[in-house]
Structures are given as structure tokens and as C-alpha cells.
Structure 1
Amino acid sequence: MTAKRDRKSATIGSKKGKAGKAPTTKSLKAKAAGEKATEPGQVMTLYAVERAALPPATAVMPLATPGAVAIAYDIALPLTSRAVFWQPRHIARSRSLRHVPFLFWLMETIRPNRVVQLGMSDPACFLALCQAADKLGLEAICMGVDLSPEKPAMSSAMAEQHATLYGDFSFVVTEDFARAVRQVQGGQIDLLVIDTPLSDEHVMALRAHWMPLLSERAVLVFHDPDKHVTGAEARQYADSLLRARPGIRFPQADPGLDVVLLGSQQPERLTRMAELEQGMPGYLAAWQVFARLGQGLENDQLARTRLTALNKVGQEAKEAEAKAENLAAELAKERQLKQGALDSEADQIAQTSGLQAQVFDLQTALDTARGAARQAAEITARKLETLTAEKATEVEALQRALKEETEKRKGHWQKLETLTAEKASLETALTEARSALDQATAAKATEVEALKRDLRQARSDRDAARARHETDLQAQREAGAAQLASSQEQAEALSKANARLQEQVKQMLDKRLALWETHEALKQAHATLQAQLESRHDS
């Protein structure tokens, strides 16, 4: 705060009143401490100081010459004002929240009829002035001048709140610094706030257009002077005002605040506050009140911001947990499907073993029949032996394939366990893999249909070959009917056994086809998951 000016050297010590020692800030703190004892090292709250500073309604504060100056400084304490404890309605991310208690106190002290803010670099200041005018019940007109038509200073939400709460006495115009003076119709300005960088043209417009409109009790406020009052002419003009008139400065705050009492008719509380300087009674208390209350507003906004972030993180965590549960359910379902496929493979292996036993039994019966009818059925026996060898080869190949597939599936299970452990980090990858799996399934379904058509054609060719074979066998039987009369019954038995074998081979081929389809689908799904995992590890 600026030093006491020479022209304000007159004190109130000459005022007459009852003699008595004036209570100082130290005595007020001691009185508050007497109401409730504090432990060593405990800091007395601001409310205790306020209770000590506010006398009972029936008490009369002594005002005597020896302590008159001290009393005046105590009267200037902001703790005697209720406005400094108001809660701002418009809490937003703003660097100016620390000055809101002082702006409330200033509005309560000067009670202006017209408030003008030039520039809306921080709308929080203007909204605080509007709130104070509304809460104090002032018949004041508040005008804000937005100097940036391309980018409105107020957000849509803040503009809606301003129109709803203060639209009957406050308005914001978008106008040039000098031309905005045309919006002031009648009356004079009691509080002028400058919240925009001052250029040389702005200083000229301020002197020529705005200063003549100031009233006899006008107060000028420079918001964030370190940033807005940087030009040589602007700095020289602001310093000249501070030297010529009493003022209040907050140089240690960021952003700072310079208050100039331009009018000659100022409230006593405001002039006493301006006369306070470092080392005087009440200076430190006043500074601490504004600083701590402002810091409390900033901490409250920071807490609100962090709480919003925490709520957002908690919501995201719940969504991630729900996705993880869905993924676990899908993995469990896929595991059941694969377990069913493995059980089906075990059944296929058991059936193959039974078929091998039946083939061995049939081979023994065929050798016995061949010994009795070797000459008559030599050609048929050779063909049957060849067919049996081919089927045995196919069965052995199928067993080897099943064994290899079993080994692969064991490896797949191990990789599946690894994928299960990393399911949290593969949610997005699994979603993409699932989409790719659907496409691959559709493509594989097309291939299966083609394979089925080929299989039906093969079966048709096989049936035709079988028919030709039966025709040849019938011709041979008719040609050797006389020679095979004794072995006809055995040949018929052999033919029936051959038919049963072919039927069993057909069933085995059908099951092998189903097993192959299941294997291809699982193989494709595993390949897709493996590619996603490798891509994930590479990234």
C-alpha cells in the first residue's frame, strides 16, 4: 500500500471525545485469545479476530486523542466487513480469485452508482462486482466492455449466468476502447476497472474520454498492472496517478492490483486503508485477511477441479472394470468352446482306435475267406487289400495330424493363459481381433461351402466308382458262378463286411471334415490373436 500522502497529513487526533486508550490490533488479538485459550504455536483464526474487532451493539468505542490514529487503523480492518466472507457465485479457473474478497470489500465501502470495466481479460472480476452490487442491493449500473469481438471473453455458461442473475442492471458491450464511452448515458462513473493491456492510444483515450466522466468519489483499479501496464507512457501515467492520489497496491500478488482514489470525496474507511503502510497497526492484519481469504478461494477452486478429475477417473475406472468383466466372460466362453473341441477330438481318437480294431478283425476274416476262394476272388482281394492299405494310411495320417494338433493346442493353451493375464492391456486389440475373426469366419464359411461341394462331388464319383466296381464284381461272379458255388456264401459275407467298412469309413470322413472345420476356425482365431499380440509388443 502507498505511503500516507503529505496533503492527507491531518489526523483525527484533534477530534474531541472521551479519553481512553484505543485498542490496537495486538490488543484485539489478545482479547480474542482470551475468549478461547490457544495452545503454544496455535494460530488464531480470522473469525476470532473479527469477533474481537466488532464491539457489542450497545458499546461505544472510545475515541480519544492519544489513540485516535490507532482506532482509525483498526476501523480500516477488513474483518469488520461481512462482504469479505461472501462466497463467490462464479467459481472458475481464474488467477483473479485471490482479489475477489477485496473487490467485495471495495464495493461495500464505496457503494458505487455506476461501475465500468474496460477489458474482460478475466471475467471473474466483473462477475464479482456484479454479485456485490446485487447482494448489497445497490441501485448501480454495471457495464463491461469486451475489446475482443473475435473471441468473446465470457464462455456461454458464464454469459447465461450473467444474463440470468444480473441482466436487469448489468450488460456487456463489444466496442472499441474509445468508442465505448458512448454507452455511458447520463451519470458519472464511481468505479472504473481497467483489465486490458494499455497501449499509447488507450492512454490517450483514457485521458480524453473516460477521465472526465469520473465522479468526485471515483476509484480507478488497474488489474494485473505488471502485465497490462507495461508500455512507457502507460507506466508513466499510472505512476503519476499513484503519486498524485492515495492508493492501495498489491504488488506481491499474482496478478497484482493497483487501486487509485481519484475522487476527492472518499469514504473514511477507504482513505484509512490507503494510508496504511508497512509497520503501522492493522497493516499486516489487513494484508493477511485479503491474502488468506483469496488463497482460500483459489484452494477451493483447485479442490473442485481435482474432485472433478477424480470423479472422471473413477467413472473411467468403472467402465474399464465393466469391460474387463465382459472380456473375462467372453474368454471363459471361448475356453469352454475350446474344451468342447478337445473333448470331441478325444472322442474321435477313441472311435479311430475302434475302427482300427475292426479293420484288423476284418482283415483276419478276409484272409480266411481268401484262402478258401483264392482263385475265384483273387482280383477282388487285391483291390480290397489296396483299399484297406489306403484307408490305414489315411487313418495313420489322421492320427499324426491329431497328435500334432494336440501338441499345438497345448502350446495354444499356454499362450492363452498369457493372453488372459494381459487382458487388461489387450481390450482394444481383442475388440479388433473379434471383428477380424468375424470376417475370417465369413470367409472360412465360404471356403467350407466350396469344400462341401467338392466333397459331395467326390462322394458322387466314389458312388459311381463303387457302382462300376459292383458291376465288375457281379460280372466276375456270373462268369465264375460254377467255380465259386462253394464259396458264394463266404463272398457274400465278405461283401457285407466291405459295405459295413465303407459305411464306417464314410462316417469317419464326415467326422474328420467337422474336426477339420473346427480346427481351421480355432487356428485362424489363434493366428489373429498372435498377430495382435506381436503388434502390441512391437509398439
Structure 2
Amino acid sequence: MALSYTPETESPEPDDAPGRAAFLFSLRSMFAPPAFLAESAWLEHIPFAFWTVAALRPQTVVELGVYNGPSYFAFCQAVAELGLDARCYGVDTWKGDAHAGLYGEEIHQRAQAYNDAHYSSFSRLVRSTFDEAAPHFSDGSIDLLHIDGLHAYEAVRHDFETWLPKLSDRAVVLLHDVNVRERGFGVFKFFEEIRRERPTFEFSHGHGLGVVGVGALQSEWMTRLYEIDRDADAGRAVRETFARLGRGCAEAFEARRWEEAAHKLRRALDESGAQLREASAAREAARGEIEAARAEGRRLGAALEASAREAAAARTTQAALAERAEATEAAFQKVRAALSETEREAIAAKAAAEALETRVLARLASLDELRARLREAEARRDAMADAAAEAGAQSETRVEEIVTLTKLLGEAETKAAATRRELDAKKPVEAECGTP
């Protein structure tokens, strides 16, 4: 069902409360089914979101606090199906806060994916804090502002005052959670303050939603809504109608969730049926395996008895082997002792052999030295023999020379003796003659 817009009527406003309330319901957009549903208390305000967009026909829509998107995508759906020339902006950090709790990146990813798939021609998700986003909007440019961020009194008041200059002269502000009075929520307190100064309307269902007429030039539909708030009966009729419509959205979400659960259950049942059939087949196969196992068990029983007999024989053999092992161990110890003695004797023999080898090496060294000295002596002997031979030859020559000299000496002595005799013979003569 597409949203529709019924223009203002020229008929006089009804005097009775039901008539005045019914007049507001002539905007049939409030009855449209939502395209996007997700778990949120805001589901119960989606019909009023449709009605507000149709009544206000904004050119710029801003939501502070998108989270998983039911409220924001309700505004976008209304803008798209009413064919409005509008721009929508959803501002959030998608990290959570003290009231919403912290959540993962998948929340932003799902919201971004849905926005890109359905409303990217006029809608943009702005990932930043509210204060960081405010300077990027011109003063007097926003016609519809939804504040659903941190719900503490100071935070809501700060958000309202920060964005107030950005609102147009026909702007409407929606404040969620005006009916929550625990866990540090203070939206109700701020709404009570602001309703003393500006026209408002309050819904109590879905954690409460406060409607504030900020701009001086409110549309006729919004003005009549504020006026109905002064009529208890008409106001109650409007609140009950939107509460029932909103409950329908919440129930649609619950039905969808139950349908998804039922689908999962059917799929699980199908899987269980398949598993049951597999289990039955496995059971039949198991029966065959059990019979085979029983036969195998009987065979193994007989084999076990035979094994028991073999084990008894093995134990007897083992005892005999143990005795042999003990005897072998004793013999081994004796051999080991003898081997130890032999090793000690071998060590002593090795030491003696090493000492003998040392002495032999010393004797060999002495023998080599003696051989060297003998060779030197033989060499000196040969040299002396050569020298003696040469000396012998020289000696024979000298003997001959001595013999010759001896003869000559003999002859000389003979001559000398003759000469002395002659002289001796002459001396008396000379004396006699007076020769001195």
C-alpha cells in the first residue's frame, strides 16, 4: 500500500471530539504498512512518522541517533512514497552509548546496506557525533528533526540547543523516550520544560514520543494536532488510534520474527526428518553390524579361550625362561667380573708395553747415535791411513836424503878432521916462527 496525501479540507472543523480526531486521520499515509522492521520501541511510532511527513511535507529531514534504523527508514519510506523533493540525513556514530549499550560494526553495515539499496537517491547516513555534524547544515534549513541519542537530561537539552539554529520557521522536533523515568533518562524532564514555551503533543506508548512545534509557521495539520492536545477526549482518541496502529507494526515485526522462527523450525524439522531417515537407515545397518559383531564376538570368544590356553603355556615357558635368565645373569656376572680382571691386566700390559716401547725407542736412538759416531771414526781412520801412506812415501824420500846427507857429513867431518890435523900440525911451526 503506497502512502497517500489528502489535502486540507475546506469543510468546517467538527465540534465534537471524535470528529476532530477523525479529521486528522484523513491523512491515509498513517495506515500504510512499514517496509523496514527491526527490534525497537520506535516500531510503535511508525504510523505517526508516516503521518508527520505527510502533514509537514519537509524538504530536509534529520535524525540524531539512527541505531538499527526503524524510525529513520520510516521517514525515508514516507518521503519516497509521497514523492517529496526532500533530503534525509541519519547521524550516528554507530558505536552505542550508556543507554543504548555498545554494539558491533554489523549494525552500521546493515543500515548502510539497506539505505544504499532503497533510498540512496535522497538519503545519506552520516557517521559522526551530533556536534561534529551540526556545522555541516545551514541555519534555518531543517524542517523535521528527530532527537534519539543519549537520553540524559543534559545530553537532550544540549542536542536541542545545538541544532535549534538549524531549524526552519515551520520545523517540528520529535523527542523519543519522553515516558521513560529510570536508568538516568531525562527526556521527560526536558519535554516538560519545553512544552511550557511551545506547542506540543505527547504519546505515551512505545516509551513515549514528544512532538514539539518549534517554527513559528506550523502547518495546518500540525496546528490542529497541538490544539487537540487541549481536548482530553479528542487527544485520547488520537493517542489510542496511533497506539493501536503502532502496536500493529510491533505485532507485524513479532509475526515476521515468528515466521522466521517458524521457517527456521520447518527447516530444522526437515533437517531432523532427513537426519531421522538417515538414523533409521543407520539403525538397520547397525543391526546388521550388531549381528556380524555378535558372530565376530563368538569367534573372538573361541579365539580368546585358545589364547588363554596358549597364555597358560606361555606362562609355563616364561617361568622356565625366567630360570634360564637368572642362570644366564649369574654366568654373565661371572664373565663380567673375569672381563673386568682381564681389562685391568690388559691395562697393566698396555702400560708395560708402552714403557718397553719407550726404552726400545731410547736404545734405538742410542744405537743410531753410535752408528753415526762409528761412521765418523771410520772416516777419520781412512783419512789417517791415507795420511800415513803419504807420510810413509815422504819418509822413504827423506831417509834417502838423510843417508846422502850422512855420507856428505861424514865426508865433511873427514875433511874437517884432516883440516884440523893439518892445522894442529902447523901450530908449533907458527909458534916457533913468532907468528901471533
TM-score by length of 2: 0.58
How far is 1:235 from its partner? 5.4
SS, match of residue 41 in structure 2: coil
Partner of 2:364: none
How far is 1:72 from its partner? 10
Partner of 1:258: 210
Is residue 200 of structure 1 aligned with residue 146 of structure 2?
A: no
CA distance in 1, matches of 2:153, 2:237: 36
CA distance in 1, matches of 2:274, 2:232: 63
CA distance in 1, matches of 2:190, 2:288: 83
State whether residues 109 and 269 of structure 1, in contact with CA within 8 Å, keep that contact through their aligned partners in structure 2.
yes
Partner of 1:276: 228
CA distance in 2, matches of 1:135, 1:94: 23
Partner of 1:140: 86
Amino acid at match of 1:145: V
Q: Give CA-to-partner distance per residue, 1:116-168, whole Å, 9 cap, x none.
A: 11122452111111111111111111111104447558442332121222112
CA distance in 1, matches of 2:88, 2:109: 19
Q: Give CA-to-partner distance per residue, 1:58-94, whole Å, 9 cap, x none.
A: xx9764xxx7544995376343111011111112222
Amino acid at match of 1:125: S
Is residue 218 of structure 1 aligned with residue 164 of structure 2?
A: no
State whether residues 148 and 176 of structure 2, in contact with CA within 8 Å, keep that contact through their aligned partners in structure 1.
yes
Task: Select the residue among 176, 193, 201 that pairs with 2:129.
Answer: 176
CA distance in 1, matches of 2:71, 2:133: 19
In structure 2, do the counterparts of structure 1 residues 305 and 167 end up closer, same or farther at CA, with 3 Å as the change threshold? same
Is residue 296 of structure 1 aligned with residue 248 of structure 2?
A: yes
CA distance in 2, matches of 1:141, 1:240: 30
Task: Select the residue among 299, 307, 310 that pairs with 2:259.
Answer: 307
Q: Which has the larger radius of gyration?
A: 2
How far is 1:176 from its partner? 2.3
How far is 1:187 from its partner? 5.3
Amino acid at match of 1:167: S
Which stretch shows the higher mean deviation, 108-117 or 183-192?
183-192
Tell me the number of residue pairs that the alignment of Structure 1 and Structure 2 aligns: 295
CA distance in 2, matches of 1:142, 1:276: 29
Partner of 1:156: 109
Q: Give CA-to-partner distance per residue, 1:6-28, whole Å, 9 cap, x none.
A: xxxxxxxxxxxxxxxxxxxxxxx
Task: Select the residue among 278, 299, 304 that pairs with 1:326.
Answer: 278
State whether residues 17 and 233 of structure 2, in contact with CA within 8 Å, keep that contact through their aligned partners in structure 1.
no
Task: Select the residue among 16, 41, 52 that pairs with 1:106.
Answer: 52
Once the two structures are superposed, the pairs formed by residues 74-89 of structure 1 within 5 Å of their partners are: 74=20, 77-89=23-35
State whether residues 152 and 186 of structure 2, in contact with CA within 8 Å, keep that contact through their aligned partners in structure 1.
no
State whether residues 146 and 153 of structure 1, in contact with CA within 8 Å, keep that contact through their aligned partners in structure 2.
no
Partner of 2:239: 287
In structure 2, the gaps of 5 or more residues are 1-5, 97-102, 315-436
How far is 1:245 from its partner? 1.4
How far is 1:309 from its partner? 1.2
Task: Select the residue among 36, 39, 42 that pairs with 1:90.
Answer: 36
How far is 1:248 from its partner? 0.9
How far is 1:237 from its partner? 4.0
State whether residues 178 and 202 of structure 1, in contact with CA within 8 Å, keep that contact through their aligned partners in structure 2.
no
State whether residues 76 and 123 of structure 2, in contact with CA within 8 Å, keep that contact through their aligned partners in structure 1.
yes
SS, match of residue 333 in structure 1: helix
How far is 1:344 from its partner? 9.2
Amino acid at match of 1:140: A
CA distance in 2, matches of 1:85, 1:195: 24
Amino acid at match of 1:247: T
Amino acid at match of 1:295: R
In structure 1, the gaps of 5 or more residues are 1-53, 55-59, 349-396, 403-450, 459-539
State whether residues 43 and 206 of structure 2, in contact with CA within 8 Å, keep that contact through their aligned partners in structure 1.
no
Once the two structures are superposed, the pairs formed by residues 433-444 of structure 1 within 5 Å of their partners are: none
CA distance in 2, matches of 1:210, 1:162: 24
State whether residues 68 and 108 of structure 2, in contact with CA within 8 Å, keep that contact through their aligned partners in structure 1.
no
